Amino acid sequence: MKFRNLGRSGLSVSRICLGTMNFGPETDEPTSHSIMDSALANGINFFDTANRYGGPNGPGATETILGNWFAQGGGRREKVVLATKLYGEMEPWANNRGVSALNIRRACDASLKRLQTDYIDLYQMHHIDRLTPWEEVWQAMEVLVAQGKILYVGSSNFAGWNLAQAQGAAAPRNFMGLISEQSIYNLVTRDIEREVIPAALHYGIGVLPWSPLHGGLLGGVLKKERDGKRRLEGRAKESLDLIRPQVEAYEEFCELIGEEPGDVALAWLLAQPAVTAPIIGPRTQDHLDSALRALDVELTQTHIEKLDEIFPGYRTAPEDYAW
């Protein structure tokens, strides 16, 4: 396994992050535990979850699955860099959503209980909260750090100027602020190249792409469709209806260089300077094994240029749209 420091921090994480959103809604607890054991055995030390994950099992169900896994011992908790998130409503009552000081305190304590641990390595704001001032956010996070309940703070789904706001408010407090940002980023969806990635590089914030295969669209979907192995839905189906010629060209290119489409999509992200670790969300052991193979794919500059030709990206703003 290859490792990289997360942003400008001294925290060393695997180049693949195990996302757990499917644990519970799509994957039962025993299989989830087996996947986590396999991930750890293969050197993946970075696990990501959220207090809202759980699907029909209810918010918190996925954290509970992780907590039961940690409780098995064997160094599981000690070996894992654990990341979770807060923001979404946990129950229909006031002060149970957002990142107010009150919800930060309550949400953290509840996550610690479900996760059966006494600290969270990376505590992330799942979305920007436009109603809570940064002074309040950072004061509450500082308290959690002082109490030893969290070690680092990250964000998710922030705009570039939100990253600047956050770091601008943290600096006068002599607080480290954000060390990571989770954003949707893949060959199809490259919007963050305009402003989020430049901001992240400037502030030393590691980018953690979610949906690296765009809901399976970049995982060889046309071949699977022809073989009757997969039927797309959601984001991937909507995108395929719009860009089928590009996906066809992409799969032909992958076949030409002798690599699986899903491996190429992950390898492309791993080659981006701002990216620390793509977040994979396996439902099965085979999904995890496929993601691990991407670490051995070496894309040349010619390969990257061809991928940019198939799926054009963006220049840094304002050059991207101003001239």
pLDDT of residue 225: 79
- Residue 268's Cβ-side half-sphere holds a number of Cα atoms within 13 Å equal to 29
Of 93-97, 161-165, 251-255, 307-311, where does mean pLDDT reach its minimum? 93-97
Residues with a catalytic annotation lie at 53
Question: How would you write 76-129 as a 3-class SS string?
Answer: HHHHCEEEEEECCCCCCCCCCCCCCHHHHHHHHHHHHHHHCCCCEEEEEECCCC
Closest to 251 (Cα-Cα) out of 283, 286, 225, 229: 225
Which residue bears the tokens 């670490």? 295
What CATH number does residue 149 fall under? 3.20.20.100
pTM for the full model? 0.95
94-117, pLDDT tens digit by residue?
A: 999 999 999 999 999 999 999 999
Alpha-carbon gap, residue 29 to 35, rounded angstroms:
10
Domain count within the chain:
1
The answer as to whether 314 is a domain residue is: no
pLDDT score at 75: 97
Asked if 232 and 225 count as a contact pair (C-beta separation under 8 A), the reply is yes
- Domain assignment present for residue 94? The answer is yes
Residue 311 lies in a domain: no
Cα 323 versus chain centre, distance: 32
> Is position 144 within any domain?
yes
Q: How confident is the model at residue 312 (pLDDT cuts 50, 70, 90)?
A: very high
Residue 200 lies inside a defined structural domain of this protein: yes
Range of the domain at 55: 3-215+269-300
Reported as a single tens digit per residue, the pLDDT across 226-279 is 877 666 666 677 788 899 999 999 999 999 999 999 999 999 999 999 999 999
What is the per-residue pLDDT for 241? 83
Q: What is the pLDDT of residue 142?
A: 98
**Tokens 């750890």, located at residue:** 40
Say which amino acid occupies 136. E
277 inside domain: yes
Give pLDDT tens digits for 33-88: 999 999 999 999 999 999 999 999 999 999 999 999 999 999 999 999 999 999 99
Distance CA 240, CA 246 (A): 9
In a domain, 189, yes or no: yes
In a domain, 243, yes or no: no
Outline where the chain has alpha helix (H). Answer: 29-41, 61-70, 76-79, 101-115, 134-147, 160-170, 196-203, 221-226, 234-257, 261-270, 285-293, 301-310, 319-322
